[in-house]
């Protein structure tokens, strides 16, 4: 699988809701969020890329550490950068604030890769999950063009690309509670993550 697809972690957010502290390096229990992500991603992928604009904070991680090529700060900018540096035709992307990303979910998405498909993405009743998805290198120039023209919405940028959707039913087979899609965006989310981690350890 690693020869087909590169794993990319986006850790370039500005973290404004956490007074500038990097969400990826915050702890849930005894582990940093990024440690949890790496533990899962490193099982699936030999080639890992970490996209961050503060590379000095992540030097102890066994990954290719890169910074955004384009100046605008957005998740789409990170996707462009990850695809640019990927050594395979496809890259799986996750955000650096997803503490409960499941190996089975990654594999469900990556297994959706097939000829002619540009993007493989889960979809639930709440919408699509563009940062738990696979993008082909065919998306690289589209991402660049969109960012350079000030269009940062991922789904809008790739609306003309061939998309394969992973249904909610299939996603729940891999991750029954869909916790792979849980992001720590606020201090309240961090508290919720602590609760979920404790609950999981006790179950």
pTM above 0.85, yes or no: yes
Q: Locate the domains of the chain by residue range.
A: 5-202
Residue 2 has pLDDT above 90, yes or no: no
At residue 167's C-alpha, the angle toward residues 104 and 2, to 5°, is 35
Residue 143 has pLDDT above 80, yes or no: yes
Residue 134: pLDDT band (50, 70, 90) is very high
Residue 198: pLDDT band (50, 70, 90) is confident
Q: Averaged over 74-103, what is the pLDDT?
A: 96
Residue 58 has pLDDT above 70, yes or no: yes
Residue 15 has pLDDT above 60, yes or no: no
115 vs 200, which has greater pLDDT?
Answer: 115
Residue 146 has pLDDT above 70, yes or no: yes
Alpha carbons 51 and 19: distance in angstroms, whole number: 21
3-state secondary structure of 10: strand
Contact 110, 4 (CB under 8 A): yes
Q: Quick one: CA torsion of 117, 182, 175, 111, rounded to 10 degrees?
A: 20
Q: Averaged over 65-80, what is the pLDDT?
A: 94
Q: Averaged over 164-174, what is the pLDDT?
A: 97
Q: Averaged over 90-112, what is the pLDDT?
A: 97
In percent, the amount of the chain with pLDDT more than 90 equals 84
Least confident span in 73-87, 97-111, 184-198:
184-198
Alpha carbons 114 and 78: distance in angstroms, whole number: 23
Alpha carbons 142 and 192: distance in angstroms, whole number: 36
Average pLDDT along the chain:
92
Residue 200 has pLDDT above 60, yes or no: yes
In percent, the amount of the chain with pLDDT more than 70 equals 93
Q: Which fold has domain 5-202?
A: Spore Coat Polysaccharide Biosynthesis Protein SpsA; Chain A (3.90.550)
Alpha carbons 102 and 98: distance in angstroms, whole number: 10
């Amino acid at each position: 699988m690693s020869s087909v697809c590169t794993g990319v972690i986006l850790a370039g957010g500005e973290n404004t809701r956490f007074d500038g502290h990097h969400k990826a390096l915050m702890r849930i229990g005894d582990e940093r969020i990024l440690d949890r992500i790496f533990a899962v991603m490193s099982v699936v992928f030999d080639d890992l890329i970490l996209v961050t604009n503060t590379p000095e904070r992540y030097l102890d991680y066994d990954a290719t550490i890169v910074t955004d090529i384009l100046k605008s700060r957005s998740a789409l900018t990170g996707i462009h950068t990850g695809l640019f540096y990927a050594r395979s035709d496809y890259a799986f992307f996750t955000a650096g604030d997803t503490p409960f990303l499941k190996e089975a979910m990654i594999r469900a998405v990556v297994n959706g890769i097939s000829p002619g498909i540009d993007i493989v993405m889960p979809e639930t009743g709440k919408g699509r999950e563009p940062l738990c998805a696979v993008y082909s290198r065919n998306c690289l120039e589209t991402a660049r063009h969109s960012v350079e023209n000030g269009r940062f919405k991922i789904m809008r940028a790739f609306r003309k690309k061939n998309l394969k959707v992973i249904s909610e039913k299939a996603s729940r087979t891999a991750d029954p509670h869909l916790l792979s899609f849980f992001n720590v965006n606020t201090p309240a989310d961090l508290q919720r993550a602590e609760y979920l981690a404790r609950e999981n350890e006790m179950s």
